[in-house]
Structure 1
Amino acid sequence: MHVIVVGLSHKTAPVEIREKLAVPESRLREALSRLCTYQGVREGLLLSTCNRVEVYAVVEDLESGYGRVQEFLADTHLSLSSEHLTPHLYWHAGDRAISHLFRVASSLDSMIVGESQILGQIKDAFEVALTHKASGLLLNKIVKKAISVAKRVRTETKIAETAVSVSYAAVELAKKIFSNLTEKTVLLIGAGEMAKLAARHLIANGVRQVRITTRNFQHGLELAQKFNGTAVPFEDYKTELAGADIVLVSTGASHYLVTADDVQRAMRQRMSRPMFLIDISVPRNIDPAVRPIDDAFLFDIDDLHMRVEQNREDRLREAAKAEQMVVEEVAVLGQWLQSLEVTPTIVALRGRTEEIKRREVDKVLARLAHLSPEDRAAVEALASAIVNKMVHGTMVTLKAEATSSSGAAYVDAARRFFSLEDAPAAYPPAQTEVQEVSEDSSDGNGANRFSEASLVQHTTKEQSRRVS
């Protein structure tokens, strides 16, 4: 079995391609059902966002698996031919596919490194796959681990703690000046997009009072309604300064609307309570002479851009730490996946030796009908001891080599030596496992405690059916 991912993202495809490939939520169930009907596709998960469309799958054969998933993507979007689609696709298998999912979940592959939305989108995609029985033992384990890794990255690094947009940088600075924004009043002068976005961020961070003034009073009223604020006539903006803790200015004026004298006068009325002024206008609308005024904190667009750039560098440093975490977690999961390949063979070996022992002991006991129950039990115990000692070394070696580069060779040799070629060599399909895995049975690291036990139970049942 092979874990693969085939997809495209903002890094490989323009929006006109991404929007054609996107799968709306209403079609996810049908799309997943079709994906699992393609020959050789055992499990599947479809992640569709505005910045990426990816199919994670477990396939029987690597090369044909890539082909089937690509066919699925082309068939799902008839308006997009394979010729137009293929140049934008990327595909990974094994550890690289797992690493890719871990990086995506941790927002290391996002347009904005550190953003949190992608993790929720992965959880939603996983829930759909579970509900419709498209995800089984392998994808359940891998996706749960990806979610765990993403949480670890956010907990152990500062990758999401700094602003990487001009509008949010303004909020970040405001928080440094005012420890609590709840009781603060914002004065929005003008209706520039960045200023409006900054106002939204401030409201989201606790600001309750927003006063808005624009040259077009009707426009101001409309904005005030959106922000649950108050519109004031534009000619009154200077008298409004004294009551504002945070002043956002973004107009098309070619001169200073707020002068040093205006701020001095407002500060006297404020009894020197701090005032935070943000000038997002180009040309600037607040006189730089405001900067030396005590308790008045002025930042213009260049200051904000500088802050954003510094934050980006900080995030990149934190991203490097996160990348190392991904490497570590991929290695841990890789060992589990390799050991999983050994389990069906060990179970089959136990079943086969038990079958042989049972057959031969029954023959002997049929000829020795005069034996007492104690003697018959002794024969049973002797046979079991011989069989266990004969296969013990093989089982120990298989387990020890499970995570080595030679693991597959040892499994193949054991299956040949003990004539196990017809026994189950892989885990059960998604539909037989999904009911159990969808329950809350993960440990602190997002691992399924019951997965290997379930596999052993399933394989034992298969072996029993073959023996009978």
Structure 2
Amino acid sequence: MAEIFVIGLSHRSSPVELREKLAVPSGELPKHVKELAERAHLAEAVMISTCNRVEVYGVAADSTGARRAREVLAARMPEGALDPHLYERSGAEAVRHAFRVASSLDSMVVGEPQILGQFKEAYAAATEAGVIGGLLDRCFAKAFAVAKRVRTETGIASGSVSVSSIATDLAKKIFGDLSGKRVLLIGAGKMGESAAKHLRKQGAKLFVLNRSRERALELAKACDGEPRSLSELPGELALADVAIASTSSDRFVVTTDLMKEVVRARKYRPLFLIDIAVPRNVDPRVGDMENVFVYDVDDLQKVAQENLTARKREAEAAERIVDVEARTFEEWRKQLDLKPIIVGMRRHVREVLAAELERTMPRLSGDAARDRAALEKMLDAATNKLLHQPLTELKKAAEAGDGQVLAVVRRLFPVEEAAAEGASVSRIAPALPSEPPPANVAAKKSGT
């Protein structure tokens, strides 16, 4: 039976400069996940790309699928650069990982709400690309339900839980009261919009810069700020107290050359740049300039750790929910292994008994129709009685992960034919044909 695997890297395993090289814009996810599935020969695939992680969830027909997916990702980097940072999990551990990620237990800021939306976005992209199948469909649907349960039954989301709110907390630590402070928002994406709303609640004066004038106007209106053109960036940086960068650009928006002019214009007055974009918008060398302080998403992780202690107890409760749900999913998945075996066992016993019925029918006297009906009932009862104990033990073995028992049953019963035909659980007890098979077929089945 094919299993789910996950390979990827996150803020826990790699620095931001590595993650940004693998990041995929959300609009390009369908194309990338389809290409990855084709190149790695995966039956199913989902690709998640956020500022804190890039992960591939897959299902392959053989055990080499994860290795091939790893090679596809590694091909985008210098040789050997990615391997030390990639993690890989399979089977029950991959499913548990998915549930933890969707529930924000593996997030930089535990309890943040954005990851669930990003999970759903990745699922939609894989669906659009046509690379979602039964296993990942069930896994992701369950992950959404687990995340909802965690947020409903625990207090894991209380307090500041998003990267945007952490950025706001950092600005407050720098200035204390943000009332009247001039805050520049570079970019008008989802992260930027969230940051703008947090900052406006603190009384900051907002100025929104974006390449799209319409989007800048829309966000500025929603956050009671003032729109600006991205071409006005040098002048606005010269006036700002805090600048938060969150564009979708794959190049630095705030460069060292730009900041040399800005620093002179500010007469070296302190400027705090918070870069919450991946790929980064601010050249990290800017932080080496006098009175210019740069924080990226990895720096925000340190701030997030301060909030983690307060939510530790709630996170432990959430982990227990994930463990229970992961075990439930694994029990369901194991039942998939049993379906063709159960169908094959029932079919084998039923066919043997049916053949015996055909041998017996000519020997009956009296009302043949009544005799046949009675014998058919006898066969059904006999089938259930013959298989009751074997099936009970077989299910116990599957739940215990005892693959040897399953292998023995496959050798003892002709079950592979049922698996190849994709027999469903609804066909566990197929009805006898209305007409008896030819005498030679009945004799062959009965071993005569």
Same fold (TM over 0.5): yes
| CA apart distance, 1:357 | 2.9
* Aligned twin of 2:104: 107
* Aligned twin of 2:123: 126
- Structure 2 residue 142 is matched with structure 1 residue 145: yes
Partner of 2:125, secondary structure, is: helix
Partner of 1:54, secondary structure, is: strand
1-side partners of 2:306 and 2:33: how far apart? Answer: 42
Q: How do 1:49-198 and structure 2 match up within 5 A? A: 49-62=50-63, 64-74=64-74, 78-163=75-160, 165=165, 168-169=168-169, 187-191=179-183
- Structure 2 residue 409 is matched with structure 1 residue 414: yes
Tell me the matched-pair count. Answer: 349
* Aligned twin of 2:30: 29
Change (3 A) 1:203 1:82: closer
- 1:4 and 1:93 in contact (8 A); partners too: yes
Partner of 1:7, secondary structure, is: strand
1-side partners of 2:30 and 2:242: how far apart? Answer: 46
1:340 partner amino acid: L
- 1:168 and 1:198 in contact (8 A); partners too: no
Change (3 A) 1:56 1:308: closer
* Aligned twin of 1:456: 425
1-side partners of 2:139 and 2:192: how far apart? Answer: 38
2-side partners of 1:376 and 1:157: how far apart? Answer: 61
* Aligned twin of 1:358: 354
- 1:171 and 1:202 in contact (8 A); partners too: no
* Aligned twin of 1:388: 384
| CA apart distance, 1:90 | 0.7
Partner of 1:8, secondary structure, is: strand
TM-score, with length taken from structure 1: 0.61
| CA apart distance, 1:3 | 1.6
1-side partners of 2:396 and 2:151: how far apart? Answer: 35
Change (3 A) 1:357 1:398: same
* Aligned twin of 1:17: 18
Partner of 2:57, secondary structure, is: strand
1-side partners of 2:73 and 2:83: how far apart? Answer: 10
- 2:9 and 2:54 in contact (8 A); partners too: yes
1-side partners of 2:206 and 2:370: how far apart? Answer: 96
Q: Deviations over 1:234-257 (max 9, x none)?
A: xxxxxxxxxxxxxxx9899999xx
Change (3 A) 1:356 1:115: same
Q: Percent identity?
A: 36
* Aligned twin of 1:316: 312
1:188 partner amino acid: G
2-side partners of 1:212 and 1:23: how far apart? Answer: 29
Q: Deviations over 1:334-372 (max 9, x none)?
A: 222223321221122222223333334234436769752
Task: Provide structure 2 residue ranges, at least 5 long, that are not aligned to the other structure.
Answer: 186-190, 208-215, 227-240, 244-265, 270-290, 292-302, 442-448
Change (3 A) 1:404 1:132: same
| CA apart distance, 1:118 | 0.8
The two structures, once aligned, show a CA RMSD in angstroms of: 4.6
Q: Deviations over 1:258-283 (max 9, x none)?
A: xxxxxxxxxxxxxxxxxxxxxxxxx9
Task: Provide structure 1 residue ranges, at least 5 long, that are not aligned to the other structure.
Answer: 174-185, 214-221, 231-248, 256-282, 284-306, 429-453
1:114 partner amino acid: G
* Aligned twin of 1:423: 418
- 2:4 and 2:94 in contact (8 A); partners too: yes
Partner of 2:419, secondary structure, is: coil
Change (3 A) 1:7 1:209: closer
